[in-house]
Amino acid sequence: MVTTRRQSGALPMAKPIIDMDSDVEEESKGPDGPPPVKRARKAPTSVREPVKGEKETGNLAQRRNNGQRCNLLHMPMVILYETLALLGPHDLLALARTSRILRKTLMSPRTLTIWKEARKRTGAPEPPPSHNEVWWANLLFGSRTCMNCGCIGDNNVDWQLLMRVCTSCKRLNLLTPIKFRQEYPDRDAAFLDLILYTNVGGWAYGPPRTARYYWKGDVEDMFQQGDKYEKDVTSCKSGAKAMYERFAKERALYVSAVNEHASLCATWFIACERQKELEGEMLVAKRKESIKAHLQGTLGHDERDVDKALRDWHVTVDSKELTDAKWPKTLAEWEKVVAERRIQRIDQDHKPLIAQRKRLATEAYDDVYRKTFGPQEWTTLHWLSLPASNAVLALDAVRTLIYRDVDTTVVASDFQRVLPSCASHVETTRARAEVWGRRDITKAIQQIKTDAILQVGEDADASVLNLAMATFAVKTHNGGELFEQCLRYHECVFYHRQCLHEPYYMHERYSLYDKNASVVVKSLLDVLELPTATTTFAELDQRDPRLFCAHCPKQKVDGAWCRPSFRWRSAVVHHAKRHTARNLQPGWQSLSEEETSRSRAEEGFELIKEKTWSCAHCGEHLDNWQPKLYVEAHVRAAHKIASPQTSTDVLCMPVILVDVKPIQISVDGPPLDEAEVAALPNCLCIVCPNLSRRFTQAGVRSHLSGKHKLQTIIQNVHWRRDE
């Protein structure tokens, strides 16, 4: 509903009593009006005194409280006026809303000087034409609620419209001359010269500041007044036309005067805002000095940390006076900030020392929690649910030791002594992560059941994920991607949790069941004559077979016929990346024992040289992964095993994902035709016994006929093949 502001025909005089709130009833009339009706006197009622210890409730307590608050009403008028003269506009407005008696007193003409002097002390400009001091004070210093919709916010006064209005209401109720003609096509646009306008619209962009915007309520109000004058003129009322012309002239002068007055108000408002900023900056500086004095002098914090904390733009300093009640909370908050700045300073100034302490903390945590499990258990759900080593650095007890005074010696036993106090936190975090892990395992098993490539029962448990056909891909933003070291579900989880340090609640990113890879493993198991329903990853890794891909034919490499051989894991990845997109059915051929031996002997060092290996008998290489040769040397020296075996003594952990290239194995080439045989340079001349030159078949015949003048040339008589 549009708010209207009616204006009388002539410029109205300021009324002695102005209604500041639209929802308050009209005040009594002035001195020329009838006297107020007297109320009948009521018989006095007895007031019961409360019994000792009884709490006052109801009207009795309200009357006693009201009596204490209204002592101001019993003052002599002279003293009351002297008291009111000391108040500012904000206080006068608030006081006028406390009771009807005070409201009537402050609205009377006798208090006009009080309102005027209060305004002058603030430096505010004079009221605009046709408005009195009380109305002006309410507009300047009253509630910041929108005068149209009542919303509470940072609603500034539009000095040209003489309204405090929000941006939303401006967008809904402002009219431009173009919109005026669209909405009121039958109205004369000359009416706009009699209406207050503003140059500030409801949008941050649009026409220049010279554009005029008219409040819709004022437009409709002016229509009503114009219609009244037009009716008088039409009815040939005496002097009606002159009255309308005088009204139009006075309204035009009123609009012009308000616009001139608006520029003064805008200048004053900008100066007030700047003054508030300066006062706020002074209060902030004063508050910072007080905080600095307490933090350094009373609490003994380092001056460097305090200065850095006070300069931090992330921390807000209120532009208010600090009271005794706020000091404890304020200091507690600032102590946290100073502690963080101290940690930053120590991190920067003593990097080697802090790095050493952090290493001692993680090693102590690993010894107490993570290394109590054998390497074969590092892919179990219980171990994977443990917090990572770097997570212990955030615990308060450990953090306090790490950032203890740099002159103090901190050893590993100090961390081992405080770790028991963190046991409950570690166990809570582990249990929470395990719950998430079990949920993800349930989803993974459900995926296997849905695809129905690996037949599992309804009561299948997590052991299904150990089967070779339960192949998973590392889940990425592009979908699933297969890696040789991460085909098993728990290997994918290990890679994300221990290498990428992703939190447990991101478990849905860990793995994605790959049914196409499962089909490849099934075909591979058929070739190896292994049962598809029971063969596990461990059994295949132990057997370590080598295979040829049926879709990769022989090819010449450096003049020799070769064929790529694959380990079983790399075979799965190879088919998924090369042949699945062409919808080729997987096919494999087992290598002979001699070819398998050559393949293992000629395998490259892509995976062997990477720091992704660990001893299978101890936790020596946990978070200290090493190349395979170093780990094998450790197994021989520490565990007295002469010939370490992969998957038994040496483990390849999914720490670094390596794309292992296949090994090219030399094989017999296809049989040659007569033309290919004739083109081979393996022919020797028998007539020239000392000549070691080799010819093709055509070349040796040319040699015999040209040099030796032979007409009839016979194989094995004049020339032979050197096999």
pLDDT of amino acid 437: 84
Residue 317 has pLDDT above 80, yes or no: no
- Tell me: pLDDT of 109 over 60: yes
Domain boundaries, the chain: 69-272, 351-430, 452-612+653-666, 674-721
- Looking at residue 91, what is its pLDDT? 92
Token match 């508050």: residue? 287
pLDDT of residue 511: 67
pLDDT in tens, 473-487: 887 666 677 888 888
- Rounded to an integer, the average pLDDT of 157-163 is 93
For 366, 391, 573, 679, 716, the CA distances from 498, given in Å and listed in that order, are 13, 11, 23, 60, 72
How confident is the model at residue 12, as a pLDDT? 36
Specify the pTM: 0.57
Number of H helices, E strands in the chain: 25, 17
Q: Give the whole-angstrom CA distance, residue 627 versus residue 656.
A: 11
What's the rounded mean pLDDT across residues 328-355? 89
Measure the CA–CA gap between 536 and 379, rounded to whole angstroms.
15
Q: Is the per-residue pLDDT at 38 higher than 80?
A: no
Check whether 433 has a pLDDT greater than 70. Answer: yes
CA distance 167 to 156: 9
pLDDT tens-digit series, residues 169-208: 999 999 999 999 999 998 988 889 999 999 988 886 655 5
pLDDT at 32 over 90: no
- Backbone angles phi and psi of 17, in degrees to 5: -125, 120
Average pLDDT in the 683-712 region?
Answer: 86
Determine the pLDDT at residue 163.
93
Instruction: From 603, 570, 601, 610, select the one nearest 588 (Cα to Cα).
Output: 570
- Mean of pLDDT over the chain: 82
pLDDT tens digits, 370-409 = 998 999 899 888 898 888 888 889 888 999 999 998 889 9
Distance (Å, whole) CA 155 – CA 167:
8
Q: Which amino acid is at 524?
A: L
Position 54 confidence tier, pLDDT thresholds 50, 70, 90: very low
What percent of the chain has pLDDT above 70?
85
Region of 548 (left: φ > 0; alpha: ψ -120 to 50; beta: rest) is beta
> What does the pLDDT read at residue 634?
95
Q: What confidence score (pLDDT) does residue 154 get? A: 73
Residue 156 has pLDDT above 50, yes or no: yes
549: buried, middle or exposed (CB in 10 Å: 19+, 13-18, 0-12)? buried
pLDDT tens for 617-636 read 999 999 889 999 999 999 99
How many whole angstroms separate alpha carbon 215 and alpha carbon 198? 9
Q: In angstroms, how far is the first alpha carbon of the chain from the final one?
A: 108
Confidence of residue 714 (pLDDT cuts 50, 70, 90): confident
Query: For 632-659, how does the pLDDT look when each residue is reduced to its tens digit (9 = 90+)?
Result: 999 999 999 999 988 889 998 888 888 8
Per-residue pLDDT tens for 241-262? 899 999 999 999 999 999 999 9
CA–CA dist 538, 547 (Å, integer): 18
Cβ count near 46 (within 10 Å): 5
Give CA–CA dist 477/144, Å, rounded.
50
Count of residues for the chain? Answer: 723
pLDDT for 315: 72
Three-state secondary-structure class, residue 522: helix
Q: What is the pLDDT of residues 571-587, one digit of tens each?
A: 999 998 888 888 888 99
Q: How far lies 306's CA from each of 213, 293, 329, 337, 343, in Å?
A: 52, 10, 17, 9, 12
129 versus 65: the higher-pLDDT residue is 129
- Check pLDDT > 50 for residue 43: no
Residue 295 pLDDT > 90: no
On the question of pLDDT at 665 being above 90, the answer is: no
> 723: pLDDT confidence band, cut at 50, 70 and 90?
low
Nearest one of 606, 604, 605, 627 to 615, comparing CA atoms: 627
Give the pLDDT confidence score for residue 673 in this predicted structure: 64
Among residues 339, 357, 439, which one has the least CA distance to residue 406? Answer: 357
Give yes or no for residue 423 having a pLDDT over 70: yes
Question: pLDDT confidence of 1, banded at 50, 70, 90?
Answer: very low
pLDDT of res. 506: 55
Lowest-confidence range among 29-38, 159-168, 171-180, 256-265?
29-38
pLDDT computed for residue 23 by the predictor: 36
| One-letter amino acid of 615 | C
Contact 433, 385 (CB under 8 A): yes
Give the per-residue pLDDT at 67.
44
